Structure 1
């Protein structure tokens, strides 16, 4: 199976950056926990596989080491879009160099794509929610 490494790297980077943002550089060593959401857990799994941390007996390649360095840099500045782009490039280089790895990861089921939601509210006692399945009571007696 031939995998488009460029597209796969593009698809995986949001998960990887979500995991780095959540855990910092410790993302590679952190044990999966039920408290983390599916996006972060998937990103953590991807990063461990890409860096060879899932096979501790294997010697990391230069491409894997480059991904680790990018993770460390991004952990220090998780909002830096340039560092996230560099991580994507390093992931692409690794997947291009190791087509079997790319094919393996391409077959993994993915959780819903990570997204950023911004909710804005204004006015006195205005509630701010993303999804509401019930009544919001602001404490006044107005019907």
Structure 2
């Protein structure tokens, strides 16, 4: 199975970036928990596979080391678009150099694509929440 490394890198980078933003430099070492967001968990899985941390008995390749360095740099400054682009390039290089890894990851089922949520509130003491499963009390006049 031939995999388009450029397209796959483009598709995987948002998941990897989301995981890096959520966990910073610890993203490569952090253990998945059941409560972890599916997108972050998938991003962690991608990064573990790409960096070879899913098979600790093997020596990391130069491409895997370069990718791990890109992860560390982006974790230090997660809002830096240039470092996110470097991450995408490193993912693309690694996938092109290791078609077996590319084919493996290409076969994985992906969760919904990462999205950005914007929540706006207005008015005195207005709560701002993304999801609420109960009552929100703001004080004073609450019966």
Displacement of 1:124 in angstroms is 2.5
TM-score (norm 1): 0.88
Partner of 1:79: 79
Partner of 1:14: 14
After superposition, the C-alpha distances for 1:72-125 in whole angstroms (9 at most, x for unaligned) are 101111111111110000000000111111010000001111111111121234
Partners in 1 of 2:54 and 2:127 — Cα distance? 44
Partners in 1 of 2:134 and 2:33 — Cα distance? 30
1:35 aligns with 2:35: yes
Between the two proteins, the alignment pairs up a number of residues equal to 141
Relative to 1, partners in 2 of residues 1:135 and 1:54: Cα closer, same or farther, differing over 3 Å? closer
Task: Determine helix, strand or coil for the equivalent of 2:79.
Answer: coil
TM-score (norm 2): 0.88
Partners in 2 of 1:93 and 1:129 — Cα distance? 40
After superposition, the C-alpha distances for 1:21-46 in whole angstroms (9 at most, x for unaligned) are 11112111111112321111110010
Question: Structure 2: any 5+ residue segments left out of the alignment?
Answer: none
After superposition, the C-alpha distances for 1:44-70 in whole angstroms (9 at most, x for unaligned) are 010000000011111111110100000
1:1-143 equivalences under 5 Å are 1-130=1-130
Displacement of 1:130 in angstroms is 3.5
Displacement of 1:136 in angstroms is 6.8
Task: Determine helix, strand or coil for the equivalent of 1:87.
Answer: helix
Partners in 1 of 2:136 and 2:27 — Cα distance? 37
Relative to 1, partners in 2 of residues 1:30 and 1:131: Cα closer, same or farther, differing over 3 Å? closer
